[in-house]
Every structure is written in structure tokens, then in C-alpha cells.
Structure 1
């Protein structure tokens, strides 16, 4: 009986199945082991290349910074491209596809709307036209970089980064115009004007112009830059879709276009034009430093990504010796130093994007009305190949002002009567004269303040405020880039869509370099920028009506002036500062808020002791941010879908402070209730909701709550950031201090329902340059140098970055950890 059972068909099947499973697991383990051994995630050794002129030596120091030593600048940029490909191949591939509108070829339908929008903007199309105008010598350097990228990808062999296997793709060919296109994507990433104009257009449907300014106030202390009643104008022109029941029924019956760009489609790929997405930099002259020579600090704020936006490298060749942060895809050190000069960028935030309402010719939909009569749209056909789906063919139209974005943008179509009007985008970055890469390469060659500022004349977009210091003791601040000349009181000043058929709304000229804001060697001994309003001495008209709030700048200014002399340690302390001046105007409302919530008593001591310092271990910081979030929702959620679409991208803090300063602001009155609530009533309601939300998320004991628990920085991987299991493997997570307004910035993602205080925007790097001895300069960034997820260098810097620690940024390292020699065939 037992013998029969032991040899039963079921038992034999189980044994056979387990045997096959074991063999399969061994095969999988063998494949993984073979892959890990074969993958060149720490590339070293000798490589031969047919496109290299002379041998290049690359030595990696103990902090994994490569030091490229070449006999020509062409070979140096070739080696940089090679490194970008071997260290960040997948990042480059996504950048190439994103800028070209070709993500859907490997990712399928979910990216079609994004591809369509970027094809409509014509990023790659503009890059090709711009590249044609570059000087021959610079073209050769950009091409050498592209050759290096392609050689680097080829050298990886079959064991590519894991992302290629998961998406069933291969590295594509990198062309010189891909580098130009990626520089345009950075300009798009840092541009927010057109989104603000669209929001004002949307609000004008149901608010007066005065109420729109309540929601989007002018810069503190300023009057609105335009006195035009644009809400009345748009309504009189009949710009908006009709909201009658019959038109709603027709809209419902009309076939929905699934490939129109939604607001959420941009977020996984670019920073989605976040308000307050900027940077800090400041520079001190010798009179303000212990050493008697300048100190310069810079921390650009960008969307956090894994791998990092930046890759640090040192390039040395005749006429070139520069170290700092490179941007994979770009042949230059973007932020860094030479042996004689150091620099750092912040986003100036000028208004370089204008939306134009184009009036469609009622007799011919292929034409629109210009100042002198009908004009024909320029058209081109685009074809998007979609993985596992038929291709999408569509027509891109362009007016004299720029591409018609409303044809591919869902929110625009929801707002305007698209049978009568279209929205065109005028944007400086698309100009054929744009030669930003030329400016970057010339900056890397600069050996004096004068030559560096001369290089900045070629920087076109995005406009940046550049802090500069040299070893001679000079300090300077120079705005660089192209922006239209505007006159206050004339037209709309770029705050809302202009009328395309009225010549008075057209751009007339750009500001010359000499009229951009600048300063050199001021009596104060310091200069700083943090995206605040910055006005030129030679042109009193502001570059935009939408500056970021000045809280970070004000805090930097107070810390700089608090000491007579600074050193590198005090600069580091400043970069780690977490006092949020944006909390001060709201503090009385917060501390006087009362509620019947069961946790009010337990939370009260933390509320009363909170001083605005957003440290990781602060309980008061978490309660305050939850309360400010709920108060913002209480005041502005009445805007309906407009608020839902914008909150998160916009923090509404300026509007909140402005309205809360008036105890009886009508915005504090809760709609649809018989009582008339004041702002303290609204603050009470907000605290009740905040405590309820915190209890649900973090438990019943406020003494166990901490800001760092909820406020975690997530460096997100593309495209796996939101996928179960894979996201934990590819994303990099670490608690951080700060908020959207602290010098040590950490902008909460308030529109994230599961983690509203999670931060995806923070300091993408920190650097301090010591002009007394530039070899004592330091840096840090959020992840690691490697783009290979299995590498120990993928995420190893995250905690040090969170703790505001630094690593040396030296051209002469003490140790070499590995080496690559690239030889010509």
C-alpha cells in the first residue's frame, strides 16, 4: 500500500515539477549572475575607438569623480560623452526620446499625449535649425561628444542597464542635435510663464480680474504689472466654451481624443513647471571672508531624479581645465570652476513665454486673422510610432507667433472655444538664433571675469542669474539669456494670453545684454539670488510680473549680514538652514487656532513652541504644514477643478498670506453656509482637519509625529517611479528638513493624496567654492554618480546629502580607484 502511494502518478508529478522548478531557478540565478558579472557598471580598462584622435586617460578618484586628460578639446568632449553613456546610458536614452517625442515607441500608449505635445512644440525640429547656425568649430565639439556617447553605448555589449531589458529596447543613436534638443528641454523644465497665463485665462471665466489677482497676487510691495481688465476682455470676445446644457450634451457626444495632454502627463517626465522651482546662490568678497578671498555657494533646485540630474567630472585639455556638474546629454560642465574662476546658476524666472489667442478665420479653418487680414497656418505632419498599437498621425499648426498648442493640450481645449480660437506659444528658446551650447563651451574655457561674462552673451535659454568669483578677488552677479522688452502699463505684460490679431501685443525687441541685471564688487561685499525680483540699473522694467516669493533671499541676506566674516563652515551652515520665513505671517493664526478635536490638547504645546524651523525631528513643523495645507484648501478649493489642477504645481502661499492678513477677507468665508466666517474661523477649521488627517496617517500620539517622517525626499526613476516593487528598487528615498521656502529647500508635493508632504523638488546639488584655494571646494548631490541600479554608487550619497554633508571637489586627487584608457584605432 505504502509502496503504491510512493509511486503514485501525483507523487511522481510533484517530484518532476520540483525538479524542473529547481532547474529553472538555477538557470535564472545563472543568468542573473552572468549578467551581473558581464555588466560594465564600473567600467575600467582599455577601449579602442575609430573616432578618437589621440589617446585619452580617465582616472576616477575616491569620490568617483572622473578626471579626463586629453590632448585636444575635441577628445575631451568625446570622453565626456563616453562616460555619460557608460554611466548613464538609460538616462541618456530617455532624454533623447523625450526631447524627440519618441517615448511611445518603447513605453506604449501611456506617453502618446506627451510625445504629441512635445512634437507640437517642435523641440527637435527647432534644435535641428539651431544646430545649423552654430560655428563650425563648436559643431565639431558637439559632434565629438555625440560620437563618444555612441561609442560608450556600443562598448557596453549585451549586458545593458536593466531598464533596457524591462522595456525591450536598445540604446538609440545620439546625434549632435540631440544635445541641442536636450538644452531646450532644460529651458522648458525651468519655464512656467505659459502655465500661469493659462491659469489666469481659466480663472477669468468665473472671477473678476481683481479676484484673479487675489489668487495670483503681484510680487510683495508691487502693483500688478498690467492694469488691463483681462477677465472682462475675454468674456466680451467670447473666448470661452459655452456652458449651456445643449453644448455640454454635444461635447459629451463628441468622441473624446485620448491623446490630448493632461496636466498629470507632464509630471513623470519634467518638473511640470513647478512654481518656486528655482535655486540659491550667493558670493562673498574678501572683505566678508576669513581668508580675504571670495567664497561662492550654489544649490540649484530641480525635480529629484534617480539617477541624479547631474554627473560630476573634470575635463583637462589644452585651453580647457574645468571641474563640476555636467548634465548627461550636454557637452560642457554646466556648474563648476576652472583654475581661476567659479560660478553658480539660479533660475531668473523671466517671462519668455507668451500665449497668443489666435482668431480662426470663420470662412477658412486653415487660416487665422492677423493684424492685416487672414494668414495661413504653417502645417507639418507628425507620425508617432506606438508600441503594440497603430501609429498616430496628426498635423501640427503654427501661427506667426509659434506652435498651436491648444490642438494637443486638453486643458486649453476645455477652456477656449476651439472652433473660433486657438492658443499659440511664443517662446524664446525656440528661436533659430539660440546657441546656448556655444555659451556653455566658452564658459568652460574662461580664464578671467571678463572672458566668462563674454561667454554669457551667448547663453540664450533658460535665462539664469549667474554668481561669479575669481581668484583675483572679484565677485559679480550677471543675468544671462534672452527676454523680450516689456513696458509696464502696456498691454498684458505677459500675465495672460495676448490677442494675436492686435499688433500692439507683439514682441518688438529683446533686451540687450547690457540692460540685463548685473552687479560687480558691491560695497556690501556680497551678492545673492534666490529667484526673487531682480531689477537692472539700466532698465527699471521688471523681467516678469511673476517673481518667486522673496523668503529664501531674505533669509540668505539676514545670515550674510549677521556675521562680519564667513568661512566655508558658515557657508555650509547657511545651505542647511531650515527657518521658513513664509511661516511667520501665518504664525498668529496658527497659534490662536482652536478646535474640539480630541488631539488638540496633546498637540497644543508643539503648536505654541513652533518657531518656523523645519527640522526633520520637529513635531510643530509637521502640524504647521498640515494646517497650512488645509487652510489653503479651505480658502481656495472653491475654485473647483482649477484649484485641483493647479494645487501642487502652485503652492498658493502668496495668496494665502495676502488674504490671511485681512481678518475679514471674503475668501475666508466658507461658501454655502449661512454664517459669515472670518480668517480665524477658517484657521480653526483647518486645524481640525489637519489633526484628523495626521491622526489617520501617523497615529494617536502627537509626541511621536515628526516632520521627517512625512517629509521624505524621493529621487524618482523614469519610468518606473510609480510601479509596485520596481519603484522600491529604483527610487531613492530619504527624510529631509525644510519646506518650499527655506534655504535648504524641500518642496512638498501637496497634490499627492497618499503622501502630501513628500518632496520631489529640492537641492539637486550643493557646492561651495573657495577662491583662496579652489582645491578646497566641496560638493554633494542626492543619489550617486552611477546610473546602474545594481551599483553601490547608485544611491550611496543620499544620507550625506540629507545631512548637508560634503565631499571634496578637487582637480588633484590623492587616490585613483579605477582607470579607463581610450585609444584610437
Structure 2
């Protein structure tokens, strides 16, 4: 009769287990409370820092924008670095690792390809060479900023942002060259068209040059900038891989914003921005109004951190980029400025012919030349290191050894692809240009500072309190002559001297405008040509939908106010949709919900409001119609649809009711564009009913068009992703002024957006203290902070916060002292 003893033993084990669980819970709670108490996520009071020159006072306003008051510019930049590290330490650590190709040290195998490609480009090596040529005065300011970053990281103590614990890492040392390297990564994101060149090369395996231009076409009704039959050129040279095909799938546990570092940066349709200025004769105040909303990838925390820097010779407020010691977009107390991407073609691919007798040599214009070679070692978490060789030609780094799409396209036993890119030039000192812009006392000095901007080339729209408005394209771009050679639209034979860059366009020949008679200036990545130079800066401008809409809105009123600027930034009419509305409304479907859906759809006018049902039906139809026309391109379509939206060729082709692209090659019958449209509507309604239910009245655009600010690198990790990511229903599409580019085939939800207005600013030059701003997350990079996501709903609803040098209300205060 031992049963009671056994029961007693089990009870003891159960009690011990419960006690252990309780102890673990109590310990976990204690550790969590200790962490939250110790975490320096809302710093205030006095901090002693030995490396600081003199004391710095920092006051935070109601929006948590810091106002840095320093006795020297070096101390001001030190304080900015200190705040960047205090508020955005993990973001800066990721920026540093991305630019130096060192992600795999903490993230493992999934990022090896990214690291290898960045090492191949030589971003950090180029930054070091460029920094060596910086003047001593600029080096000191960058060093002061770096010292501030390292001091800020040091003060965090053991309670680091939680991302460090999750990845088993710690903040690394920040150097001045890390700032230069991050500027190069920004230039890469905005820098050129080499991926489009590669796409044209890939398409040339299967299409004629004429057909390639139908898929990746010239700007609107323009003729191509090159008349060369490049498809025939490549076939004659026999450059193609003998067995081309799709590349292996991407890692599923990395955010799209991370993968874009390798696959989509610079290649995405819709990347760009809006800016415009109306002069005093068109404004209610009698002084200019200036607006800006740059379109970049949405990340959490945001790419921007707003700050005000004040020191002798320095008084500037606006958006800074953690990692770079400057206000990139903002204002002084006398003038304001704004950027959009010019889109100049500053990257060219060259096909280099390898010497069959000596693979260490390649063909030059006057005979064989040796590849420059150096060794790189990537340390990989949990695995042995990867050692590989990086080759360079006279044009630049050879990317076909490390970029899968290039490697699978050409015969790498006989050829290599090298990249020529302005940003890698020794002469690039763009960070100095930013510093000089911040120091400018007036608009004339600011324009002089723009001469030092090298890469990326930007459309700069400016206005000052005296009533001036101005525009300047700032940066370097190779000088090209229309219809001569390949004009950078496709890879060129590297041994032919005629394709080499001979010179850059002089600053004086870049497009510029001062106080135009019409009284306004606007840019939105549309085609821009200088009056004194008829040669376009690229053959790959964006569709002018946003620009045309901005012009319509400016011309719609004789007098504009700040509220009008807000309404323009929030405008969601898509001029990329309106050319397709007639075909959409003429479409017929056999789907059971067709009558209900199209009763709603037929009243749709192209306005992508968040509560619009017609917007969702239209976009699903346009998506399916695009797939109908271009999926015959197989992997060359599916790999790029999303990075490229194919809207321009779609509009062009359906203008011809019997376009051969509308025919389904899988059927014997020859289909018209209307028949293809009907099939697209069938597919769209089938998708929508399965995804959103059988009541079309509930299919509102905001259910599908979700703006997601992705965390690097935790956005795809279960549970953690929902904690770190920030998402909200969002209006617009890739062609509206309030832009939200669709991801299409690249994600499970094809209509979500990962790229939109990364910030909005409005400046009233009659009183610059009335300036406004907003962006999609918050100032803090600490996920537990209420300031991590506090601006998100304001941003989504097109609301704003004050951007004041003299704020009416202030919050916490921080003093940095050296003893």
C-alpha cells in the first residue's frame, strides 16, 4: 500500500516545478524591471564627458526635437553624435555594418551576399580614400561627431537597446570614415540605373532591341536616347551565359528594406521625392512657401532624426541622418531648402573581355591589362569565415563575381561586368558640401556650397525670407551626347574607348532657375534639361505623374496658403491610373460579384483614398493586367515586378487595342487588350473575394494598402516583428503626390507599401517659426519608448508638428559637461 507515498512524491515534484516556474517568472520580471529602469531611453540632467570641448546645453521641445546650444561647431556636432547614439544606437550600428560589409558577423549566413556585394563595391575602402583628401577643418568636425557617437554609446551602460541582446552584439567603434561610407550608401540608393542596364542586357537574350524598349521604355513620347541595336551587339559578341535562369530565392527572414541593399537599391520605380516653391505673388503672406516630401524606404525607426544645432556660425534645424553630422533637409533663420532625386545616370556597366590565355588579364583599348585584385574576409556568425578576391578594372569593381543576376547573365569564363560610378571617385567630398550648406549665412552662400555636392545628384529647391525662390541640380554626372553611343542605357564593351567617360557636366551647365516669371518651381523626378545643354542627364526619367499633378494644383489657385501646401502633400489622385480608367470600366467579368463590384468601380476617378473601394478593385485589376501582358518574360518579370511597376509600358501598350503584348501566347486564339482586361478583372475579383470576403462594399483600399515601417533586421521574426514594425492603413499609390509605392509580386500582400513619404516639411518664409514637419515613426529608436511610433498616425492622416527654433513649450533638458 505505497500509493499515498507516490502521490506525496508527485505532489512534491509538482510543488517544486511550480516554485521553479514562479522563481523564473519573478527573476524575469525583476530583470525586465531592472532593464527598463536602467535603459537610457530618455536621457536628461547633467552628463560628464571628458572628450567634450566645452559644455553643451540641450533642450527638447514637445515633439522631442533637441535644441543643441554649443560654444563651438565641433561641440555642436559632438552633441549631435551623442544624441544619435543615445536615441538611435542600434540603427547606427546597422548603418555602420551595412556600409562596411559586416552584417554577417552578427546575423550569420543570410547576409553574406549583401556583405560580399558591398565589399565588392568597396564602399568603406572608397570612404577611407576620400576622407584622406578632406581638409583638416572638415576632418576635425567629423572626428568630433564620431567622438560624440562613441561617448553616447558608452553612456548606455549595460542596458543597451534590446536588439543588441537579441543578436548577441555590442555597439562598435564609430569612425569619421563610417560617416563618409554611410553617405556613399545613400548615394547608392539614389544614384543611378545600372540595374536597368543589367535588365536590358538580360532581356536582350530573348528580345530584339525594339522589344526591349517596349518593356523598359524611354520617357513618355520621347525617342530612345541611343539608336544602337544593343541586342544584336550582345548576340554578336556572344556574351550570354550558355544556361541562363532564375536565381535562388531570397532569405525569408530578412526585411525587404534589408534585401533592397543588394537587389533593389537604385532600381526601384517611383524612388524619388516631391518639392515645390511658390513665390510671394502666389502666396497669401506675400513671401514664398516651400514644401518637400522625399520618398524613401520606410524603416523603424525612421531614416530621419530631427534636430536644431546652434553655435557660432551655425544655426540650422531639420532632418538629420543618424551617421552623418549635418542637417540634410531643413532651414536656417533666413532660408530653407529641399531635395528630390535628379535621377542622373551616374552609373555605367562595362563588359570586360577576359584574356583566355591569362584570366588575370582583360582586354583594354590598347592591349591586355591586369585586373587589380585584393582579398576580402567576411566573418560569419556560427560559421567559418569566407575569403574571396575582389577584382577591379580601369572602369571600377567587377560585380559579376558577387552579384547573382549578373553572374547568371553573362559567360563569366569569357567576360566580366564592371561598374563605373561617380560616388567612388577620389574627388567625392559630399559630406563637406552638407557641412558648408549648414554653415551658409544666406542663399548665395548656400548655392556656392552646392558646388561641393558630388553624389547623389539632387534637385535642390530653395527659398529665402527676402522673397527669392530658386532651383539647382547639384552633383556630378558624365557628359553624354544625345544619340551617340549607348548613352548609358545598356552595358558597353569595355575595350572600346568610345564608351569611356571623358568629362563631367560643368556645374554651370546643370539645370538651374532663379525667380521664374511663372512664380513657382516644382520637381518630382520628371525630365529636366538645362537651357544651355540639350543633352538629358539620363534616358530613364520617372513618369511625370506627380509633377503634372503638382503643377495642376499650383495652377488651380491664384493664391496659396500653408493649408494649401498641406492639401497638396496629401493629394491622392493618381495620374498613373487615369489613362487606364476607360479600359477598366469597359471590362466585363463572369465572376459572381462582378455586377456589385463594377457598380462601385465605374464611379472610380483615380483618387486613391484610404476608404475607397474603387481604388482596391482598380489596383487589383491593373496588377493582373500587368501580369497578363508581361509574365511571358518569365523570371525576368517575376524577379523584377515590384521593384519595377511596369505602368509606363502597360499604358503604352493598351493604347493599341490589338497590341501583341495583350495576346496570351499560351492560347491559339489571338486576344485583344480588351479580352486580356476582362481576364484580368476575373482574376482580380477572385483574389479580392478570397482575401476580403464576398461583400465588395468592404473592399476598402486601406485594408490592403498598409504602410509598413520595417525594423532591421527583426521585421520578419515571429512576434518580434509585430513589436518592432510600425504599420498603418495609407492612401495614395506609386503615382500620386502622396506616394505609397506598391510591392506587387515581391510580398504576400501585393498592395502594401514599404516606400512612401519619409518625411513632410512645409516652410512659410514670411515667418520661418511657422514651419511644419512630420515623419512616420518617432524620434526614439528604443522600442519601449512612447516616442518610437508617436508620429505614425499624424503622418498617415497628413497632420503636422511645429518645427521651431524657439519652441513655445519645452520638455526635458540635458547638459553635457567635460568636468
Same fold at TM > 0.5: yes
Deviations 1:293-349 (A, max 9, x none): 000000000000000000000000000000000000000000000011100000000
Structure 2 CA distance for partners of 1:263 and 1:380, relative to 1, 3 Å: farther
Partner Cα distance (1:328, 1:233) in 2:
45
Partner Cα distance (1:655, 1:99) in 2:
35
Q: Give the structure 2 partner of residue 154 of structure 1.
A: 154
Q: CA RMSD in A?
A: 1.7
Partner Cα distance (1:4, 1:78) in 2:
72
Partner Cα distance (2:258, 2:703) in 1:
27
- Given that 1:268 and 1:719 are in contact with CA atoms closer than 8 Å, whether structure 2 keeps it comes out as no
- Given that 1:485 and 1:511 are in contact with CA atoms closer than 8 Å, whether structure 2 keeps it comes out as yes
Q: Give the structure 2 partner of residue 456 of structure 1.
A: 450
- Given that 1:768 and 1:779 are in contact with CA atoms closer than 8 Å, whether structure 2 keeps it comes out as yes
Partner Cα distance (1:311, 1:655) in 2:
38
How far residue 269 of structure 1 moved from its aligned partner, in angstroms, is 4.5
Do structure 1's residue 706 and structure 2's residue 700 form an aligned pair?
A: yes
- Given that 1:439 and 1:456 are in contact with CA atoms closer than 8 Å, whether structure 2 keeps it comes out as yes
Partner Cα distance (1:506, 1:266) in 2:
33
Partner Cα distance (1:258, 1:275) in 2:
20
Q: Give the structure 1 partner of residue 502 of structure 2.
A: 508
Q: How does 1:230-269 map to 2 (within 5 A)?
A: 230-243=230-243, 267=259, 269=261
Question: Which residue, 400, 403, 409 being the options, matches 1:415?
Answer: 409
Deviations 1:241-270 (A, max 9, x none): 124xxx99xx99xxx9999xx998952557
- Given that 2:228 and 2:485 are in contact with CA atoms closer than 8 Å, whether structure 1 keeps it comes out as yes
How far residue 636 of structure 1 moved from its aligned partner, in angstroms, is 0.1
Q: Give the structure 2 partner of residue 324 of structure 1.
A: 318
Q: Give the structure 2 partner of residue 399 of structure 1.
A: 393
- What are structure 2's unaligned runs of at least 5 residues? none
Q: Give the structure 1 partner of residue 365 of structure 2.
A: 371
How far residue 192 of structure 1 moved from its aligned partner, in angstroms, is 4.1
Q: How does 1:487-566 map to 2 (within 5 A)?
A: 487-566=481-560
- Given that 1:268 and 1:718 are in contact with CA atoms closer than 8 Å, whether structure 2 keeps it comes out as no
Partner Cα distance (2:747, 2:203) in 1:
24
Q: Give the structure 2 partner of residue 79 of structure 1.
A: 79
Q: Give the structure 2 partner of residue 194 of structure 1.
A: 194
- Determine helix, strand or coil for the equivalent of 1:581: coil
Partner Cα distance (2:809, 2:595) in 1:
57
- Given that 1:113 and 1:265 are in contact with CA atoms closer than 8 Å, whether structure 2 keeps it comes out as no
- Determine helix, strand or coil for the equivalent of 2:269: coil
- Given that 2:255 and 2:712 are in contact with CA atoms closer than 8 Å, whether structure 1 keeps it comes out as no
How far residue 538 of structure 1 moved from its aligned partner, in angstroms, is 1.4
Partner Cα distance (1:814, 1:350) in 2:
42
- Determine helix, strand or coil for the equivalent of 1:329: coil
TM-score in terms of structure 1 length: 0.97
Q: Give the structure 1 partner of residue 815 of structure 2.
A: 821
Partner Cα distance (2:513, 2:587) in 1:
45
- What are structure 1's unaligned runs of at least 5 residues? none
- Given that 2:258 and 2:713 are in contact with CA atoms closer than 8 Å, whether structure 1 keeps it comes out as no
Q: Give the structure 2 partner of residue 347 of structure 1.
A: 341
Q: Give the structure 2 partner of residue 431 of structure 1.
A: 425
Deviations 1:10-37 (A, max 9, x none): 1111111001100110000000000000
- Given that 1:266 and 1:272 are in contact with CA atoms closer than 8 Å, whether structure 2 keeps it comes out as no
Do structure 1's residue 789 and structure 2's residue 765 form an aligned pair?
A: no
Partner Cα distance (1:74, 1:58) in 2:
15
Partner Cα distance (2:250, 2:288) in 1:
55
Q: Give the structure 2 partner of residue 277 of structure 1.
A: 271
How far residue 2 of structure 1 moved from its aligned partner, in angstroms, is 12
Paired positions, count:
815
Q: Give the structure 1 partner of residue 293 of structure 2.
A: 299
How far residue 190 of structure 1 moved from its aligned partner, in angstroms, is 1.3
TM-score in terms of structure 2 length: 0.98
- Determine helix, strand or coil for the equivalent of 2:816: strand
Partner Cα distance (1:471, 1:280) in 2:
22
Q: Give the structure 1 partner of residue 38 of structure 2.
A: 38
Bigger mean CA deviation after superposition, 444-453 or 495-504: 444-453
Question: Which residue, 632, 648, 663 being the options, matches 2:657?
Answer: 663
Do structure 1's residue 799 and structure 2's residue 761 form an aligned pair?
A: no
Partner Cα distance (2:464, 2:256) in 1:
44
Partner Cα distance (1:530, 1:208) in 2:
32
- Given that 2:70 and 2:76 are in contact with CA atoms closer than 8 Å, whether structure 1 keeps it comes out as yes
Bigger mean CA deviation after superposition, 739-748 or 188-197: 188-197
How far residue 429 of structure 1 moved from its aligned partner, in angstroms, is 0.4
Deviations 1:52-78 (A, max 9, x none): 111000000011000000000000000
Partner Cα distance (2:767, 2:697) in 1:
46
Partner Cα distance (1:752, 1:485) in 2:
36
Q: Give the structure 2 partner of residue 88 of structure 1.
A: 88
- Determine helix, strand or coil for the equivalent of 1:582: coil
How far residue 816 of structure 1 moved from its aligned partner, in angstroms, is 1.9
- Given that 1:114 and 1:265 are in contact with CA atoms closer than 8 Å, whether structure 2 keeps it comes out as no
Q: How does 1:729-808 map to 2 (within 5 A)?
A: 729-808=723-802
How far residue 5 of structure 1 moved from its aligned partner, in angstroms, is 6.5
Partner Cα distance (1:341, 1:2) in 2:
91
Q: Give the structure 2 partner of residue 98 of structure 1.
A: 98
Q: Give the structure 2 partner of residue 387 of structure 1.
A: 381
Partner Cα distance (2:276, 2:257) in 1:
35
Partner Cα distance (2:256, 2:228) in 1:
32
Q: Give the structure 2 partner of residue 726 of structure 1.
A: 720
How far residue 45 of structure 1 moved from its aligned partner, in angstroms, is 1.4
- Determine helix, strand or coil for the equivalent of 1:279: strand
- Given that 2:400 and 2:407 are in contact with CA atoms closer than 8 Å, whether structure 1 keeps it comes out as yes
Q: Give the structure 2 partner of residue 589 of structure 1.
A: 583
How far residue 584 of structure 1 moved from its aligned partner, in angstroms, is 1.3
